[in-house]
């Protein structure tokens, strides 16, 4: 693969080696993508997350990534990453970039050949969509030719259309 694939659909249905969970720092599930992934993966996901090392109530700092098995999902792994709450940081783009890069690097270390990303920080974390898409693309572009297929799974049609607009119509869903 030499380009991104954009899918209008539910990331919990991705048939990739890894899916990325836009998680909260506790890794205990939540709303949006995080809640959907925890629900679809089943209770073993929460059990595995709770085994990860805890530092002052945090299992995964903003911009970092952790990996677990995928439970009942079609993927092998779930990579949990915490994107920034846009208004809480003076340079949220650096943290968002770290979330993408740390996630794909973790996938590569686990020999993943495909990975599905949601739109990290674009929901209740309030990241402006156009800026978030630019960060996602620029962060992941260096990985297009290293042996891993990169997918963006988007459930909101308006966000899907923004990705297609930025990347071009030739990169539409599978």
pLDDT of 113 higher than 60: yes
13-34 residue pLDDT tens: 999 999 999 999 999 998 889 9
Instruction: Please state the domain count of the chain.
Output: 1
Nearest Cα neighbor of 1 from 140, 106, 102, 160 is: 140
Q: For the chain, what's the residue count?
A: 174
On whether residue 59 sits in a domain, the answer given is yes
On whether residue 174 sits in a domain, the answer given is no
On whether residue 21 sits in a domain, the answer given is yes
Q: Is 34 a catalytic residue?
A: yes
In sequence order, the 6+-apart residues with CB closer than 8 A to the CB of 172 are 6, 164
On whether residue 105 sits in a domain, the answer given is yes
pLDDT above 70: percentage of residues in the chain = 95
On whether residue 64 sits in a domain, the answer given is yes
On whether residue 23 sits in a domain, the answer given is yes
pLDDT confidence of residue 1: 45
Could you please report the per-residue DSSP string of 25-86? Answer: TT-S--SHHHHHHHHHH-HHHHHHHHHS--BTTBSS-TT-EEEEE-TTSSSSEEEEE-PPPG
Q: What is the mean pLDDT of residues 94-112?
A: 98
* Per-residue CA distances from 89 to 62, 80, 83, 129 (Å): 11, 20, 11, 16
- Domain extent at residue 109: 5-169
CATH number at residue 135: 3.40.220.10
40-77 residue pLDDT tens: 999 999 999 999 998 888 999 999 999 999 999 999 99
Nearest Cα neighbor of 120 from 21, 17, 29, 18 is: 21
Q: What is the mean pLDDT of residues 130-144?
A: 96
CA distance 48 to 126: 28
Which of 34, 64, 130, 131 does the annotation list as catalytic? Answer: 34
Terminal-to-terminal C-alpha distance of the chain: 13
pLDDT of 150 higher than 90: yes
On whether residue 144 sits in a domain, the answer given is yes
Verdict on whether the full-model pTM lies above 0.85: yes
On whether residue 155 sits in a domain, the answer given is yes
């Amino acid at each position: 693969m030499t380009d991104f694939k954009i899918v209008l659909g539910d990331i919990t249905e991705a048939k990739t080696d890894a899916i990325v969970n836009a998680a909260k720092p506790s890794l205990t599930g939540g709303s949006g993508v995080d809640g959907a992934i925890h629900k679809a993966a089943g209770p073993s996901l929460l059990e595995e997350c709770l085994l990860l090392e805890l530092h002052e109530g945090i299992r995964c700092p903003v911009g970092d990534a952790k990996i677990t098995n995928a439970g009942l999902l079609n993927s092998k792994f779930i990579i949990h990453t915490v994107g920034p709450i846009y208004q809480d940081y003076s340079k949220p783009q650096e943290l968002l970039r770290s979330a993408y890069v740390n996630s794909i690097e973790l996938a590569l270390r686990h020999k993943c050949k495909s990975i599905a990303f949601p739109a990290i920080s674009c929901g209740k974390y309030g990241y402006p969509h156009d800026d978030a898409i630019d960060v996602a693309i620029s962060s992941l572009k260096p990985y297009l030719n290293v042996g891993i297929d990169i997918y963006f799974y988007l459930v909101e049609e308006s966000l899907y259309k923004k990705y297609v607009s930025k990347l071009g119509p030739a990169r539409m869903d599978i």
